Amino acid sequence: MNSFQQLQEAEKVLFPIFSAIDATVKQNLKRVLEAFRHHRVGAHHFAGVTGYGHDDLGRQTHDRVFADVMGAEAAAVRVQFVSGTHAIACALFGVLRPGDEMLAVVGAPYDTLEEVIGLRGQGQGSLLDFGVSYKELALTEEGIIDWQALATGVSDRTRLVLIQRSCGYSWRPSLSITDIEKIVFLVKQQNPNTVCFVDNCYGEFIEEQEPTAVGADLMAGSLIKNPGGTIVTAGGYVAGRADLVEAAACRLTAPGIGSSGGASFDQHRLMFQGLFLAPQMVGEAMKGNHLTAYVFDQLGYAVNPLPMAPRRDVIQAIKLGSREKMIAFCQAIQQHSPIDSYVDPIPGDMPGYESQLVMAGGTFIEGSTSELSSDGPLREPYVVFCQGGTHWTHVAIALEAAIEAVGPA
């Protein structure tokens, strides 16, 4: 059976799952439309301001719309956030003070947070440099949350619990909203004052609720991932309790300025439109994930999540087992990308990562993982992480080439 026939078979098998995803998309889009209607979004909100960015009606309204969509008390959505990591760092530095303890409850954090915490690098003003201690609950041997350890792991000193929703560059399952709700419940039982913070990158609009709607105090993410709908050019967000959002905004700008400053450089229309498009885009990426999992599972590769398993983010991992296959896979995806299709991805260093990475990212927005991309660190067991996809048919076309490039396991 050739790659085209394999994909045709997969599409037939996955049709019921695609229909269920469409139902989730519809509910999430209803939520977005209700927020737009409630806040009377109009064309006048697209106009920006200059300079300090004071009294920016578009920015203020977008923050309120975003907060409503996320089930949060407040939000700060800003183009000044360089990345999801930057938004997360502002949230952590906004909440934590010298002598506080931060507890990571889902194993090791994503690579780019290691230097923020102080696990790598020196003299950069990490949390450890500022006297914030760090603890980590290891995953079980099965690679899942150690619920027993979590039930007793929070102390009076634990100011913040870090909950990373996505698997990152690991093989553990990403978290469902039900998982996050259970974590929050267990933490608050032990210390009601502990802030439950969620790294929400890759997880927005996967389900019909967000972490802040089920008890999380604060969350952060990137606008060039899910909530930007593939058209927002830069930025990130924090959302949650109003006082915590303002504390994070004070780290982005300055104490006394907080969320009141920051011109948006005429990006309001794209930010509103991206939020409107986001549920549909996420649905298409989820379909592409299922398709990728199905065909590579049939080829004999280990995949995570499994083909028919519910999606918990827009990431599909494939254990390819060799450096050569990782590079070949990424090159095939790059060749079937709309931008820079003529470029061959080669391994290289990237700021914030310990290992060399190989990355296919022929995207309209540089580094956007809401558009189709694939990447991973070049280390054992050589797992490639497929992310995003504006429409699943593009994923299917790129997969034909990827199947041919790596062959069966």
Residue finishing a domain among 233, 254, 274: 274
What ranges make up the beta strands (E) of 140-232?
Answer: 158-164, 195-199, 218-222
Do 184 and 122 sit in the same domain of this protein? yes
- Helix H segments across 104-258? 114-117, 147-150, 177-190, 242-252
Read off the pTM: 0.95
Do 235 and 300 sit in the same domain of this protein? no
Do 22 and 50 sit in the same domain of this protein? no
Do 384 and 257 sit in the same domain of this protein? no
- CATH number of domain containing 322: 3.90.1150.60
Domain that holds residue 91: 40-274
Q: Contact, 171 vs 317, CB < 8 A? A: yes
Residue 33 domain flag: no
Do 48 and 125 sit in the same domain of this protein? yes
Residue finishing a domain among 274, 301, 329: 274
Do 148 and 297 sit in the same domain of this protein? no
Do 219 and 315 sit in the same domain of this protein? no
Residue 34 domain flag: no
Query: Which positions ≥6 away from 351 have C-beta within 8 Å?
Result: none
Do 310 and 241 sit in the same domain of this protein? no
Do 305 and 246 sit in the same domain of this protein? no
Query: Which positions ≥6 away from 42 have C-beta within 8 Å?
Result: none
Residue 35 domain flag: no
Angle between helices 268-298 and 392-406 (to 10 degrees): 40
Is-cis flag, bond preceding 305, omega within 30?
yes
> How would residue 4 be classed by pLDDT, with cut points 50, 70 and 90?
confident
> How would residue 132 be classed by pLDDT, with cut points 50, 70 and 90?
very high
Query: Which positions ≥6 away from 220 have C-beta within 8 Å?
Result: 84, 87, 88, 90, 91, 197, 198, 199, 200, 201, 236, 237, 238, 239, 248
Tell me the average pLDDT across 199-215.
98
Structure-model confidence comparison of residues 6 and 84, the more confident one: 84
Do 69 and 13 sit in the same domain of this protein? no
CA angle 59, 65, 71 (to 5 degrees): 135
Residue 140 has a pLDDT of 95
Do 120 and 137 sit in the same domain of this protein? yes
Helix (H) or strand (E) holding 90: helix 84-95
pLDDT digits (tens, 9 = 90+) for 150-169: 999 999 999 999 999 999 88
Residue finishing a domain among 215, 245, 274: 274
Residue 308 domain flag: yes
Residue 32 domain flag: no
- CATH number of domain containing 95: 3.40.640.10
Residue 307 has a pLDDT of 97
Tell me the average pLDDT across 65-82.
98
Do 334 and 212 sit in the same domain of this protein? no
Q: Contact, 111 vs 377, CB < 8 A? A: yes
Domain count, the chain: 2
